[in-house]
Amino acid sequence: MHEAYLSLGANLGEREAALRGAINELGKLKHTEVAAVSGFYETGPVGFASEHWFLNCAVRLHTSLPPPQLLEQCQRIEREFGRESDAGRGGQPRDRTLDIDIILYGQLTLLTPALVIPHPEATRRLFVLVPLAELEGGIVIGEHTVEEWIGLVRAEHPEQQIRRYPGG
């Protein structure tokens, strides 16, 4: 079994229901167990303008699914919750009914056209880092711990807003 960390977010529709439903679906995957779930956080959009705030959390999985199969299952869950295809959007961020990103998969470093681990944007996004730090203090990504990355992002990007969601 491998330890994988996922970031979940939604800013359209019933955000909390989407996150809770996705966590439930992750727990149903073969050879996979949801080991821990962070609290929920409301965050302003990063990288694009929207009036809709995101609800985010992090999940720690124990899984024997290889990363490409885990990605396929995450994408299937996203579609089940109304996620529209990003085809033709050039990877541009936008509003989402559900977004699931694989942030870490054990100590694996992976660079393929479909999947990059560690997630290349993780160390620049408080909505990934803060819930991840809640799950597991001291995780190292690149040359810093998650807590160090949080300090760096807060100093360099004070426009990123994050607050604990009272319902999660």
Pair of tokens at residue 133 = 């730090």
What domains, with CATH codes, occur in the chain?
2-164 (3.30.70.560)
- Nearest CA to 53 out of 21, 112, 10 is that of 10
Residue 48, φ and ψ in degrees, nearest 5: -160, 160
Under 8 Å between Cβ of 47 and 9: no
Residue 135, φ and ψ in degrees, nearest 5: -70, -40
- Nearest CA to 96 out of 3, 15, 4 is that of 15
Q: Hey, which residues are catalytic here?
A: 83, 96, 99, 101
- The DSSP code for 32 is E
- The DSSP code for 48 is S
pLDDT digit of tens for each residue in the chain (168 aa)?
999 999 999 999 999 999 999 999 999 999 999 999 999 999 988 877 778 899 999 999 999 999 999 999 999 999 999 866 554 445 555 778 899 999 999 999 999 999 999 999 999 999 999 999 999 889 999 999 999 999 999 999 999 989 999 877
Q: Give the pairing type, strands 41-43 and 54-63.
A: antiparallel
